[in-house]
Structure 1
């Protein structure tokens, strides 16, 4: 069932959008997909809540709720076909949907390395095309990635043991893109010494 407290942290003007997004996620079966910490839907709600707790703007909070709808490089299950992007635009707005697509489209092997570099290429895994996103887009991507990975690491000791050092290294490289609350949460969850650049 949908967490009734979830919409409470979203600004009142966004409650209707959140309800529409949750309806799309439920119709797509997110409640029935296992994920660390319960279901995919529960994970998506936690990511959205975490972004809100960091003071993220409402567009990014909405994108956090829907970030796995088109699948990702690390989670290949697509709940909504790319041909149906207009449905998500109607539910959460053009800018939030564009962030969901941007997140889903990331070819991680090609893109993670240079994300903090303004000249670093970001490769769209759906099209193979490189692009050079704006600083704001790179910050949104880094913040959403941190919320996603830190939620899983906080829930799963196995993930922390296996990937914690790599995640800390990644987020240390991305430090210029992360908000202070995201960086503090990263250090708290990963519970390792900070590596200086």
Structure 2
């Protein structure tokens, strides 16, 4: 609870998807994705061309705990027509997966102790704050809330013994709205640089209105 009190949840995003892709005029600058801030900063890509988010290269306990964190943010921040069911579904998850989540939490803390020694608690606290703030970014709020509701609906059918496998599949789905935004912003940034140079404008700008990914691969 101490950690949550310090997390800066930027949860005021409204309609945060860009309009469908349209042809760009040669005499007008490309338009940034809706929700992008001036001089938007996005994570760099790593050596495998993946964005350096808090959800890279996790073990099973970490993936389970990161899913729990993401869904916690959704329960706190997805204030929409479905918010009552979102909160209820999250509370059901906490009850049904109490033991598996407790084991995941213990496993994550043991990992930090092993890696960081006596100062592990401060490092763990900072990383968890970074994780919560990642899922609270307003640039993908609507898509994240949709993904969280879908994951919570599937979680109702997951046995505790299956939860780690479920989390490994669910976490990329919860992260996808944010990485989709990053890709769309990169496309805009390249097009804008071309426009500033006077190059021919791209025939089409990528849209952030990404079709929701399906959860058919998740453990039933």
> Highest CA radius of gyration, 1 or 2?
2
TM-score above 0.5: no
Larger RCO (CA under 8 A, 6+ residues apart): 2
